Amino acid sequence: MYRKYIACFLLTGMTIISSWLCARELKIDRISAKPAFRIEYLDASMEEDKESFVEMLGSVSSGQRVVDYEILEQTKKYQLSDKDYDALLRIVEAEAGGEDQDGKLLVANVVLNRVNNERFPNTVCEVVMQRDQGIAQFSPTVDGRFQNVRVSEDTKAAVERALYGEDISQGALYFCAREKADSDKLKWFDRKLTRLFSYGNHEFFL
């Protein structure tokens, strides 16, 4: 009889312990599932944010390229005919072929300053070929250099800078190479003009 009671007691105890263990395991599974779900949700959210950020960067970059292109188009100050453009390239090469790019830019600036000044012709070709009392304003046009030069890429770059409006000439309308100019011409420069500065082999005047 006692054996029967003991067996029932043991069976009841084992049932209670088993139930408690199952409940505890289920609770642990639920707890561990929550962080896993949270991590998975965060990963998905972060991936969406990353894609949105990349799309935003692409849009901004594309828009910036459009803005840069529009600004570049708008800032070109001079629109020359092919004839005037060729004349500007040739006179810059002939006058400043041995100068650095800024020295070439300065010669281009002087030519364009004259085009914009009412005392001079209003096209590049006319400015370059102008004669005052029979004297050429630019000596390369009479000694063959203007006609025979081979224009360098550096000269083209300098001229492009000038055409886009870069001007470092302080408004200069004249220049000369003092070491090569004749004395009478230099006297006229010194007496009649205002010296601004020198750069490379040239002096610039207003």
Looking at residue 80, its pLDDT comes to 97
- The pLDDT tens digits of the residues spanning 49-91 come to 656 655 655 654 555 554 454 444 557 899 999 999 999 999 9
The residues with which 204 forms a beta bridge, in sequence order, are: 175, 197
Q: How many CA atoms lie within 13 A of 59 on its CB side?
A: 6
- Residue-range domain boundaries for the chain: 1-74, 82-205
The amino acid at 85: Y
Looking at residue 95, its pLDDT comes to 97
Looking at residue 67, its pLDDT comes to 45
Which residues of the chain fall below pLDDT 70? Answer: 1-74
- CATH class for the region spanning 82-205: mainly alpha
pTM of this structure: 0.65
Looking at residue 73, its pLDDT comes to 54
